[in-house]
Structure 1
Amino acid sequence: MALLPAAVPALRAENLSKRFSTTLAVDDLSLTVPTGEVFGFLGPNGAGKSTTIRLLLGLLRPTHGAAWIFDDPVADVARAHRHLAYVPADVALWPAFTGQECLDLLAGVGPGTDLAYRDELVARFGLEPGRRARTYSTGNRQKVALVAAFATRAPLLVLDEPTSGLDPLMEREFRRCIAEAAERGQTVFLSSHKLVEVEAVCSRVGILRTGRLVEVAGLEELRRLRRTEVTVDLSRPAPRLRGLADLPGVTDLRWASGLQFTLSLVGPPGPVLRALGETDVARIDVREPSLEEIFLDYYGEVSA
C-alpha cells in the first residue's frame, strides 16, 4: 500500500458551505484530518453529515469554500479519488451481478486490493458471494461495500453510516477492521450517529449539528457527553437520598414523589450504587438517552 506523507493532511476543508434553495445544509465548515487518524464525524440523523461528505468528496459542488484530499482539490474528482475508498450510507449494487462480481468490479476501479485479505473478510462477515445482488438484504449490500473498502489499499477510507444494516456481531467485526486499517497506517473518516460506535474506534471527533461543526474534540472531551439516566422506585422513603445531588457525576436529580426519583449520571456509578445499597430499592431502570437528546441537552437549540 502506497501511503502518502504524514505531513500532508488526509482531508482538509476550508469554509465549506452548501445551500439548497432556502436551506443552508452545511454552514462554513473548516476541518483538517491528519494522515493516519481514525476520525469520527458525529451527529444526529439529519445533521448534514452525508451532505458534508459529498462535498468533501467532490460529489456535490459547494456554494462556498473548498476541500482537498491529500492536497488534491476535490473539484478534480478523478484525481482526488485515486487516494480513497468510499462506503455510502445507502449502498447500491449491480442487481444482476453476484456479490463476487461486484467485489471484482470494485477492485478493478480502486487503488489496489489485497485479494487474500478480501477473501478473509468475506468469511469474517459471513457474506455469500455467489448470490445475485438483487437478493441481498440491506445488511448484505453493506457487507459487500465494507469488504471492498477494507480490502483496498487506499490511504483514506470514508465510511458514511457504515453499520446501519449490520447486526451486533457484524458491528464487532467492523470495529476489528477499523483497528486493522489503523495499524496499516490508513486514515479513516467515519460518519455515524452512534456515540458508542465512534467512541470505540476513533481518536478524535468532529460534532455536527444542523449543518454546523460545533466542536472538534478528543475522546476525553467526547466522554463528557456520555450520560446515563437512572430511575429508582423505593419501597419506603429514604430521606438521606436527598444528598445524592452532591455525589460525583450526579446531575438533574428530580423527585417525582417520596418513593420515586430520576437522575442523570456521568462517569462511574459506584458512589450512587453504594448510596442505593443502603436503602430499600424496589426497582431501578437505567437508560442511555439518544444522541439527539444528548445534543439538545448539551448544546441546546443550535440554529443553522
Structure 2
Amino acid sequence: MAQPVVQIQHLQKHFGKFQALKDITFDVYPGEVFGFIGPNGAGKSTTIRTLLGILKKSGGQATIFGQDVWSQAVSIHKRLAYVPGDVYLWPNLSGGEAIDLFLKLNGQKHSAHTDELIKDFELDVSKKNRTYSKGNRQKVALIAAFSTDADLYIFDEPTSGLDPLMEEVFQKHVLSLKAAGKSVLLSSHILSEVERMCDRIGIIRAGAIIETGTLDDMRQLSRTQVTVTTAKDLAPIQQLPAVHGFKQTGNKATFAVDSENLASVMTALAPLEIKQLQSTPPTLEDLFLRYYNQEA
C-alpha cells in the first residue's frame, strides 16, 4: 500500500486544563477523499489547524508528506491548498485581484482553468471584497484553491454560505481532483456531501476518533430498514433477535435488521409468501446518529 500523505497518530491538544483533542488517529492516502465529520465543537477545526502548523500539538504525532507538521510547516505548505469555513479577504481588493494574489503567494499563475472556475462558480470578480456575502468570499477561496496545482487539498466546512447549486459545483471539482490522483481532506457537517464524495470517513466525538472506515464497512455494522407485505401472518418475524422496531399493520410490517443477519431474516420471510419487499441500506446520517448516540 502507498505511504499516507497525511498520518496522524494519537494526536492531542490542550488549551490550559481543557483537552480539545484527546486521541485523533487517521491516515489520508494518495488519490483519496477522506471525510472528517462531527458536529461543531467536536475538534475538527482544531485538528486541521494543528495539521497546518497554526497550533502546536500537546501530544502524539502528525505528519504530512512524511514531514512534521510543526517544524516543517513552510515546506509542507508549498504542496497543499487550504480553504477554511470562514474566509476573510482584503476589503479594498476586488475578487479577481484576491484570487490572483492567493495564486501568486503559492507560486502559481492565473490560468484558463481559473477562468473556467470563475464561470462555474458564477463569481463577479470585478466587485470589491468588502461588498461580498459570506458565500462569495468562500467562492474566492475555492477558486484559488482549485486553481492551485497541489498534492493535498484541505477543506474545513468549505461550502458554508453556498447555495445548493454551488455545493454541486464544489462537489464536481473535488471529484475531478480525486480523478487526477490528488488527496483531499474534507471536514464537513453536510452528510450528503460526504456520502457522495468520500472514499473513507472518520467520525470525531468530543476530541476523539470513534470510527474510521469506508461507508460500506460501516453499513455492515448498522441496520437495514425493511418493509414487507406477505400472504401469511408476520408475527413470528417479530421474535427474531436480529429484528428491531417491528411495526405491523395487517400483513404489512416495517422493521430494522442487523445487516450481518439480513440473509437469515430473508430465509425466515420466504415461507410467508412475500408479495412486496423493500430494503433500504442505512444512510450516512443513520450511521452518524447511531455512533453519536452511543454512550461514550
Q: Structure 2 length normalisation: TM-score?
A: 0.79
Please identify, of 66-75 and 121-130, the stretch whose mean Cα deviation from structure 2 is larger.
Answer: 66-75
- The residue that corresponds to 1:251 in the other structure is 244
Amino acid at match of 2:146: F
* Secondary structure of 1:30's aligned partner: strand
Whether the 8 Å CA contact 1:206–1:217 is kept in 2: the answer is yes
- Of 264, 276, 284, 1:274 maps to 276
Instruction: Provide the identity percentage.
Output: 43
Give the direction of change, closer, same or farther, for the CA distance of 1:186–1:23 in structure 2 (3 Å limit). Answer: same
Counterpart Cα distance in 1 of 2:237 and 2:139: 46
Task: Kindly indicate whether the alpha-carbon contact (under 8 Å) linking 1:43 and 1:291 is maintained by their aligned counterparts in 2.
Answer: no
Q: CA deviation at 1:65?
A: 2.1
Residue 228 of structure 1 contacts residue 289 of structure 1 at CA under 8 Å; is this kept in 2? no
Alignment match, 2:12: 17
**Cα pair 2:215 2:284 within 8 Å, conserved:** no
Pick one of 145, 148, 152 that aligns with 2:144: 148
Residue identity opposite 2:171 in structure 1:
R
Partner of 1:65: 60
Q: Is the aligned partner of 1:195 residue 2:191?
A: yes
How far off its partner does 1:175 sit?
A: 1.0
Q: CA deviation at 1:153?
A: 0.2
Of 50-59 and 104-113, deviating more is 104-113
Deviations 1:6-60 (A, max 9, x none): 9442111222100122321111222221122111112222211111111111110
Letter in 2 for 1:137: S
Are 1:174 and 2:167 matched, yes or no? no
Question: What is aligned with 1:115?
Answer: 111
- 5+ long unaligned stretches in structure 1: 1-5, 231-238, 277-286
Structure 1 residues 134 and 301, CA, compared in 2 at 3 Å: closer, same or farther? Answer: farther
- Equivalent of 2:217, from 215, 221, 231? 221
The TM-score normalised by the length of structure 1 is: 0.77
Deviation at 1:164, TM superposition (A): 1.9
Q: Which amino acid aligns with 1:40?
A: G
How far apart, CA to CA, are the structure 2 residues paired with 1:60 and 1:93?
A: 22
Work out whether residues 68 and 74 of structure 1, in 8 Å CA contact, stay in contact via their aligned partners in 2: yes
- The 1:134/1:23 distance shift into structure 2, 3 A limit, reads same
Answer whether contact 1:161 1:193 (CA < 8 A) is retained.
yes
Mapped pair 1:164 → 2:157: no
Which of 41, 47, 55 is the aligned partner of 2:42? 47
Change (3 A) 1:228 1:164: farther
> Structure 2 CA distance, aligned partners of 1:245 and 1:79?
60
Which residue of structure 2 aligns with residue 125 of structure 1? 121
Distance in 2 of aligned mates of 1:288 and 1:206 = 12
* Structure 2 residues not aligned, in runs of 5+: 227-231, 263-268
| C-alpha deviation, 1:194, in angstroms | 2.2
**Partner of 1:117: helix, strand, or coil?**
helix
**Partner letter of residue 118 of structure 1?**
T
Number of residue equivalences: 275
Separation in 1 of the partners of 2:246 and 2:222?
Answer: 17
1:28/1:113 CA distance change after superposition, 3 Å: farther
Q: Distance in 1 between matches of 2:130 and 2:81?
A: 23
What's the C-alpha RMSD, in Å, of the aligned pairs?
3.5
Structure-1 separation of matches of 2:63 and 2:92? 35
